[in-house]
Amino acid sequence: MPDLSTFRLVLEGLFAGLGVTVLVAVAALVIGLVLGFCLCLLREFTRIKAVHFAIDAYVELLRNIPALTHLFILYFGLASLGLRLSSITAAILGLGLIGAAVTCDIFRAGFRSLPKGQIEAALAVGLKPSQTIFSILTPQAMRIAIPGLGNYAVQLVKDTSVVSAIAAPEIMFFARSMVTSSFQTTLIYATAAGLYLVLSLPLMQGVRVLESHYGKLKG
């Protein structure tokens, strides 16, 4: 059974990738939320069929291609064409673009659950379309979208483990390196799992707090 000093060395080794894991998760989350929200607005509040088709195609394509395949295209595929991205940049961009497809659907579900009469009522009292969207509809849609967005954020933290396949130096990258050199497979991967759990639990708790807060406002 591994002793305490061995566990400490494993933990120190995995901590070397903790910062990159957090960086990739946070940056990809920001890209996913901002781009997904913009795509949702374009899909729901424009009447241009070509825009609808392009966004629907983007969402279907990104949601149905495995994340690892998408990362390989960005990291290895673009490099073969002369556009070389760093592993961290490719990881952030890849997970962020996939996240935009996921959050676009989450935001759309929030907007589509609202009564359609709200738009006509808001316009009837003199509000501009932009005021109606951002002041009336968006706060309500966000409240509905919180559980889905929270689940996405937690899943994103776990999905950062796949970026080790393109040599991004995050937790799983160092875990694999240490397993190769020390063969402490169970200890290393169990410790890595614990670190992912430590990152995910505050997110889950934060989502519950937001749900409770908005639930009280609604009540």
**Can you tell me the distance from the alpha carbon of 108 to that of 56, in angstroms, rounded to the nearest whole number?**
12
CATH architecture of 4-218: Orthogonal Bundle (1.10)
What is the rounded end-to-end Cα distance, in angstroms, of the chain?
A: 54
Residue whose tokens read 């890849």: 94
pTM of the entire structure? 0.91
pLDDT, averaged per 10 consecutive residues of the chain (219 residues), comes to 73 90 96 97 94 96 92 94 94 96 96 87 85 91 92 93 92 91 87 92 86 64
Domain ranges within the chain, ordered by starting residue? 4-218
Q: From residue 163, how far is each of 76, 124, 152, 182, 186 by CA, in Å?
A: 13, 50, 17, 22, 21
The tens digit of pLDDT for each residue in 72-95 reads: 999 999 999 999 999 999 999 999
